[in-house]
Amino acid sequence: MPAEKPQVRHVRAKAQDAGQRIDNFLLKQLPGVPKSHVYRLLRSGQVRINGGRAKPERKLEEGDEIRIPPVRVAEKGEAVRPPDEVLKRLKESIVHEDAHYLVINKPAGYASHGGTGLPYGVIEAIRAWNSYEFIELAHRLDRDTSGVLLLAKTRPALLRAQRAFMHGTSDKRYFALLCGRWKGEARDVDAALVKSRLESGESYVELDEEDGKPSKSRFTPQARYKEATLCEVEIFSGRTHQIRVHSLALGHPVAGDRKYGEREVHKPLRDRGLKRMFLHSHFLELPADGEFAKLIVAAPMPDELRDFLNGLSQAAR
């Protein structure tokens, strides 16, 4: 049976769409369509707002009528419904929910969002619950990092969280098990980071004071073991792989990190049974902002990490 021919659509912006850029709105309306094609539609004037052409940065207002031209989406770009067991596990991971936010204790192994080679992530799975008219990631965690993941249920709530992250007024803390024995007490790393791509397409981050973006982390030891040190890490910026690269710069890579640090450095802890990267986002605080009260959320360390630490303690006796 031949595929149905795509038609022009006219969509009216809702209250939750107000303030959103038209390019981001289109990317949600056209899942699976490459970004380059979406921008081509905008540049060519095929997308119209209230009958007029619009630049990508144009922000929508409630009631705007958006003309979306016919776009054929390839089958491989079609949305994939996550398995029921994934939807169930993420529902069981909720640690906080109110009128503005949903917070889950993200399990390791789940990407924050789908992408190259990943048909879905946490955000796609939560949308598949069909429980929210609006739901967006307020920030992201690496696939192999567990812990506090904040999602906004309204656009004002999303913008409030993004302001806090952008201006450094949020308090984000992680537990990281670092390879090797830590000398002394707390240490700060204030080093610019630049992101590049490996031949495989994976992102890779390096220190680069000339071209990098400023980033700062504070490492405070919490427990010391024979071959590793548990640190609480407070981050004052939210760069990709920030803790992983800053800890490597200190000579103590995050235990179990397969991308950063020499294989031999990680081997003693892998041999003791560590099966994942030991990085867990355990605490997040957003300051009060206008109509929004202060938000404080925490996520307990998963059993597999606690059990591993208990094994290290017993081995040291």
Contact 271, 290 (CB under 8 A): no
Instruction: Give the DSSP letter string of the chain.
Output: -PPPPP--EEEE--GGGTT-BHHHHHHHHSTTS-HHHHHHHHHTT-SEETTEE--TTPBP-TT-EEEE---PPPGGGS--PPPHHHHHHHHHTEEEE-SSEEEEEEPTT--SS-BTTBS--HHHHHHTTT--S--EESS---TT-EEEEEEESSHHHHHHHHHHHHHT-SEEEEEEEEESPPPSS-EEEE--EEEEE-TTS-EEEEE-TTTSBP-EEEEEEEEE-SSEEEEEEEESS--TTHHHHHHHHTT-PBTT-SSSS-HHHHHHHHHTT--S--EEEEEEEE--BTTBPPEEEE-PPPHHHHHHHHHHHHHH-
Contact 63, 13 (CB under 8 A): yes
Q: Which residue out of 64, 142, 144, 257 is catalytically annotated? A: 142
Residue 42 tokens read as: 């905008």
Whether 142 sits among the annotated catalytic residues: the reply is yes
CA dist list (Å): 61 to 21, 49, 138: 10, 10, 21
Q: Which residues are catalytic?
A: 142
